[in-house]
């Protein structure tokens, strides 16, 4: 069906339709850190779910602890940062060591709206935060990164910016995996509190969260990529560790992609075309221009999710 729209190309000058996304100024930080980071392509930022090498992340964990060409020496003034969401698979900051492990007493949930990374204010996505759990039973697995004292301020500034949509820093104990023989490490982590404006809570549990993830995208990419990257990283780094909430979401979103996406996209595109063609008073050239703009919008990052969101809303309004 995009092929159909492609066929309309040339019937009018294309204009940037825009999908509402904006470029995060985080590239400033990336440039700042670029010199310190290894240039070799890491798992960072890639869609792990699409990667054929299943043990990429674990292999790289075992191969090296730091991501810097010349890592500063460790000191007593270094900081440790614990990531349990995107920080697990996207460490876009310099670190001198990293460990797999977990924190006690929390549950990871997709209860936070994302309006700046995996969604936009009009169509928020969902990302993870931590809820208080049983201190003796609930564990959240993730990765702790050691930040050199000399780089601590810049890294924390960067992460404060990256996690600015509702997340606050807190400090707690981290235990290493698979064997927690060493003394726990005091780590800083970012948690979205239930009082922040983007806290979504469990208002509509897994089925609805899955639909939201399926049909959202933001400046950092599709929301589904965030979910799949996290699930893949968890399976690779913590084989056997169960996270029912995460796994249920993966099953639901994959089902939407396989069973619903093709016809929802078709329906949404046809609806958009029909609404342009219904504007009878428009001269032919203006109509062609609008069709061209539609094509551009569908092809832009987030275009697929924009169509899916519209189609899901349409479906809801009809039932």
**Closest approach of ligand SIN to the CB of residue 257, in Å:** 21
Q: Which is nearer to ligand SIN, 37 or 189 (CB)?
A: 189
Which tokens is 39 given?
A: 């240039």
The reply on whether position 307 binds ligand SIN by CB under 6 A is: no
The answer to whether 237 and 191 are in contact (CB under 8 A) is no
- Give the one residue of 48, 87, 155, 250 binding ligand SIN; rule: CB under 6 A: 87
Q: Which is nearer to ligand SIN, 125 or 303 (CB)?
A: 125
Binders of ligand SIN in range 20-39 (CB under 6 A): none
**Closest approach of ligand SIN to the CB of residue 225, in Å:** 12
- Give the one residue of 86, 212, 232, 252 binding ligand SIN; rule: CB under 6 A: 86
Q: Which stretch binds ligand SIN (CB under 6 A): 79-87, 150-158, 240-248, 309-317?
A: 79-87
**Backbone dihedral angles phi then psi of residue 276, each to the nearest 5 degrees:** -70, -45
Catalytic residue status for 31 = no
The reply on whether position 166 binds ligand SIN by CB under 6 A is: no
The reply on whether position 84 binds ligand SIN by CB under 6 A is: yes
**Closest approach of ligand SIN to the CB of residue 307, in Å:** 25
- Give the one residue of 17, 91, 128, 200 binding ligand SIN; rule: CB under 6 A: 128
The reply on whether position 83 binds ligand SIN by CB under 6 A is: yes
The reply on whether position 298 binds ligand SIN by CB under 6 A is: no
**CB neighbour list of residue 209: distance below 8 Å, 6 or more residues apart:** 110, 126, 249
DSSP the chain: -HHHHHHTTTSS-------S----THHHHHHHHHTTB--S--STTS-GGG-S-TTHHHHHHHH-S--BTTPPPP-TT-EEEEESSHHHH---S--SEEEEEEEESEEEEEEEEESSSSSBTTB-EEEEEEEE--TTT-EEEEEEEEE-HHHHHHHHHHHHHHTTTTEEEEEEEEEESS---SPPEEEEEEEE-TTSTTB-TTTTHHHHHHHHHHT-EETTEEHHHHHHHHHHHHHHHSTT---HHHHHHHHHHHHIIIIIHHHHHHHHHHHHHHHHHT-TTS-HHHHHHHHHHHHHHHHSTTHHHHHHHHHHHHHHHH-
Q: Which is nearer to ligand SIN, 86 or 215 (CB)?
A: 86
The reply on whether position 232 binds ligand SIN by CB under 6 A is: no
**Closest approach of ligand SIN to the CB of residue 165, in Å:** 9
The answer to whether 277 and 142 are in contact (CB under 8 A) is no
The reply on whether position 219 binds ligand SIN by CB under 6 A is: no
The reply on whether position 127 binds ligand SIN by CB under 6 A is: yes
**Closest approach of ligand SIN to the CB of residue 29, in Å:** 14
Active-site residue, from 62, 70, 163, 259: 163
The reply on whether position 163 binds ligand SIN by CB under 6 A is: yes
Q: Which stretch binds ligand SIN (CB under 6 A): 85-93, 147-155, 173-181, 243-251?
A: 85-93
- Give the one residue of 85, 125, 219, 222 binding ligand SIN; rule: CB under 6 A: 85
Q: State how far the Cα of 98 lies from the Cα of 220, in Å rounded to an integer.
A: 24
Q: Which positions touch ligand SIN (CB under 6 A)?
A: 83-87, 127-128, 163, 189-190
> Which residues form the catalytic set?
163
């Amino acid at each position: 069906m995009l092929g159909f729209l492609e066929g309309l190309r040339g019937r009018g000058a294309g204009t940037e339709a825009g999908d509402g996304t904006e470029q995060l100024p985080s590239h400033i930080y990336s440039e700042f850190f670029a010199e310190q980071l290894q240039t070799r392509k890491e798992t960072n930022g890639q869609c792990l779910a699409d990667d054929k090498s299943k043990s990429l992340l674990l292999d790289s964990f075992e191969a090296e602890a730091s991501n810097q060409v010349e890592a500063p020496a460790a000191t007593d003034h270094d900081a440790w940062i614990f990531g349990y969401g995107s920080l697990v698979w996207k460490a876009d900051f310099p670190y001198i060591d990293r460990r797999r492990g977990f924190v006690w007493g929390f549950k990871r949930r997709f209860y936070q709206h994302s309006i700046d990374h995996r969604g936009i204010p009009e169509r928020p996505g969902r990302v993870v935060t931590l809820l208080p759990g049983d201190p003796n039973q609930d564990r959240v697995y993730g990765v702790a990164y050691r930040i050199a004292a000399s780089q601590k301020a810049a890294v924390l500034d960067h992460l404060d910016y990256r996690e600015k949509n509702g997340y606050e820093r807190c400090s707690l104990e981290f235990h290493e995996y698979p064997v927690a023989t060493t003394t726990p490490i005091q780590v800083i982590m970012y948690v979205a509190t239930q009082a922040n404006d983007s806290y979504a809570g469990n208002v509509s549990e897994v089925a609805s969260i899955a639909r939201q993830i399926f049909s959202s995208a933001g400046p950092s990419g599709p929301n589904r990529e965030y979910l799949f990257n996290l699930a893949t990283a968890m399976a690779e780094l913590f084989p056997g560790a169960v996270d029912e909430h995460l796994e249920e979401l993966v099953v639901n979103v994959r089902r939407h992609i396989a069973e619903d996406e093709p016809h929802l996209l078709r329906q949404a595109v046809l609806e958009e075309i029909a609404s342009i063609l219904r504007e009878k008073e428009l001269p032919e050239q203006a109509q062609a221009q609008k069709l061209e703009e539609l094509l551009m919008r569908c092809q832009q990052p987030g275009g697929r999710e924009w169509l899916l969101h519209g189609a899901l809303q349409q479906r809801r309004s009809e039932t």
